[in-house]
Structures are given as structure tokens and as C-alpha cells.
Amino acid sequence: MTAEKGCINWLAIGFSCIVHLLFLIPAVYIVILCAQLNYSLFIWHPACFTVGCCFLMTEAVLGVSGEALLVKWMSRPGRIRLHWVLHILGLGLLAVGFGTVVANKMNHGSRHFRSDHARVGLAGPILSVVVTLNGVLCLNTGACFGKVSLVARKVIHSCLGIITMALLLAGQITGVYKGWWPGTETGRDLTVAAYIAGGILLCAKPLYTTLLRMRTAICS
């Protein structure tokens, strides 16, 4: 029995390390690329979005789902608190990144939201705000929507969260194919592959938990 537990623990640790690295390595790579560019208002856009989305927000999801190695010792309420703190910090960086690219386009007289990247990049942060507001309702069980059960609110929060992460990662992927990219083709391909694999692994456990909650909500 002990050996079996040890095997499960090693598998969990290995899985957690892989997911962390799939987001951490591309994030560091992109920030280094941004630092090598000539300074401009624009470089804050990919840097802030990368750190906000692919580090802080992914860590927020991993933390609340119990996959983050550093929070294994924390209680469930502690992980939830860490989840929303990291999410708010990530949302703040998204706001900075969004504001800088809008200001940069205004300075150059460019038109806004003309590409698929721009539209997806707009939808992700907007839905992130909606997810945040829904998360507040999940934390404050007596606030608003008294007829909607807590389980239903958590299902909505999880579903919207999964969709939001998919949109944010889609924004990152389409972003590396834009003309600003200073890295190599191989670096771009590896970054995209890491985002796709990381996104699937990141959402696997939340999706499974959401399906269980949906069944509970339907049966209750």
C-alpha cells in the first residue's frame, strides 16, 4: 500500500512539473525576446500578456486544482485565496498589456481590432472580468442570485474559466505569428506546441471536476 501511494505521488509530482514547465519556459523565452527588442510602448503588450496569462493565471488554475507543487501544504480555503489573488494580478497585467497596445495603435494612427489575434485578444480579457465577477458570487454565497445554488455557480465559474483560458491561449498563439516576433521559427513552433499541450493538461482536471459538479447539480 505504501509503495502504491509513493508511485501515485511521483506521478502527481511529474505531472505538475510538466504542466508548470510547459508554461514557464515559453513565458521566460518571450520576455527575454521582448527585452532584446528596441524599447517601444508596444513591447509591454506581449510581455504583460505573457506573464499575466501564461504564468499568473495558469498558476491560479493549477493552485486551486491542487496541481501546483508549492501549494500542496495549503488548505482548500488557502488555495482559493491564492487562486483569486493570482487571477487579479494576472488580470492587472492583461489590462496594462491591453492599454499599451491600444495606446501604441493610437500613436501610429492604426485601426483597432482588425485581425483574428486582436478580436480573440479582446474577448479573453473581457471574459476574464466576467469570470472574476462570477467567482466573487461563488465566494459570497449569500450575494445575489439566491435561487441559484452554489454548485451551479461553481459549474458556471469553471465552464467560463475553461473557455477563458482557451481564448487567452488562442490569443497568445495567434500573437506569436504576428510580425513583431523576433525569435526563430523553431522557437515559435515549440512555443505553440507547449501552449497547446499545456492548455490541454491545464484544463483536464478542472473539466473533470466540472462534469462531476454538473452531475451533482442535475441530480440534486
HEC string of the chain equals CHHHHHHHHHHHHHHHHHHHHHHHHHHHHHHHHHHHCCCCHHHHHHHHHHHHHHHHHHHHHHHHHCCCHHHCCCCHHHHHHHHHHHHHHHHHHHHHHHHHHHHHHHHHCCCCCCCHHHHHHHHHHHHHHHHHHHHHHHHCCCCCCCCCCHHHHHHHHHHHHHHHHHHHHHHHHHHCCCCCCCCCHHHHHHHHHHHHHHHHHHHHHHHHHHHHHHHHHHHC
Mean residue pLDDT of the chain comes to 85
Whole domain around residue 199: which residue ranges? 2-219
Top-confidence residue, 66 or 156: 156
Alpha-carbon distance of 214 to 220, in angstroms, equals 10
**Structural domain count of the chain:** 1
Residue 34 has pLDDT above 90, yes or no: yes
* Over residues 86-97, mean pLDDT: 94
Residue 150's closest CA among 163, 159, 137, 162? 137
Alpha-carbon distance of 43 to 38, in angstroms, equals 9
Which residue bears the cell 503588450? 45
Given a contact cutoff of 8 angstroms between Cβ atoms, the answer to whether 17 and 69 are in contact is: yes
Which residue bears the cell 505521488? 9
* Over residues 20-48, mean pLDDT: 93
Q: What is the pTM of this model?
A: 0.85
Alpha-carbon distance of 200 to 192, in angstroms, equals 12
* Over residues 44-54, mean pLDDT: 94
* Over residues 7-21, mean pLDDT: 77
pLDDT at 75: 81
Top-confidence residue, 90 or 38: 90
* Over residues 190-203, mean pLDDT: 95
CA distances to 7, 12, 49, 66 from 79, rounded to whole Å, are 24, 17, 23, 8
CATH number reported for the structural domain that contains residue 111 in this entry: 1.20.120.1770
Quickly state the pLDDT bin for 212 (edges 50, 70, 90). confident
Residue 144 has pLDDT above 90, yes or no: no
Top-confidence residue, 80 or 220: 80
